[in-house]
Amino acid sequence: MSDFLKDRLTVSNDTRHLLAVRDFISRMARHGELAAEEVHKIILAIDEAVTNIIEHGYNKGEKGTIELEAEWEGDKFQVVIRDSARVFNPESIPAPDMGEHVKAGRKKGLGLFLMRQIMDEVRYRYKDGVQNELTLVKHARAKE
């Protein structure tokens, strides 16, 4: 596939916009050669990333924006998420032992776990003095 497709969505840091985020990712992800269940999982991973920024990045009551840039390049679907919330590097959080985590009734960290499970790459970068930039990549594999 040689298509190149790119689009952007900017939302404020309010969970009411998660529906719009999911619609945007759904529309973009469907352009490639991904099976429907893979599209669903990618939507989930991006929802989790945006939720983390809203809930843990920005302070309560603080107004901020979250910019999503989704693109297909060949068989690579990439979503870059930028925000100006406090520095948060998900790479610094170790992967939890999910069995123990759940048995103990802990809810935190589930979103990050899902992002890592679903996406082929999860990369974080802090652009000096400006913003957090989280890049999530999924490679399309041939449909069965």
Report the nearest approach of another protein to the CB of residue 71 (Å).
Answer: 23
Report the nearest approach of another protein to the CB of residue 77 (Å).
Answer: 18
For every residue of 93-129, DSSP letters joined together read: SPPP-HHHHHHTT--TTHHHHHHHHH-SEEEEEEETT
By beta-carbon proximity to another protein, the closer residue of 2 and 103 is: 103
By beta-carbon proximity to another protein, the closer residue of 14 and 91 is: 14
By beta-carbon proximity to another protein, the closer residue of 99 and 129 is: 99
By beta-carbon proximity to another protein, the closer residue of 47 and 82 is: 47
CB atoms within 10 A of CB 109: 16
One-letter amino acid for residue 99 of the chain:
G
User: Helix 36-52 crosses helix 18-29 at what angle (to 10 degrees)?
Assistant: 140
Footprint of another protein on this chain (CB under 8 A)? 15-16, 18-19, 22, 37, 40-41, 44, 47-48, 51, 54-55, 98-99, 102-103, 105-107, 110-111, 113-114, 117-118
Enter the tokens of residue 118.
Answer: 């679903």
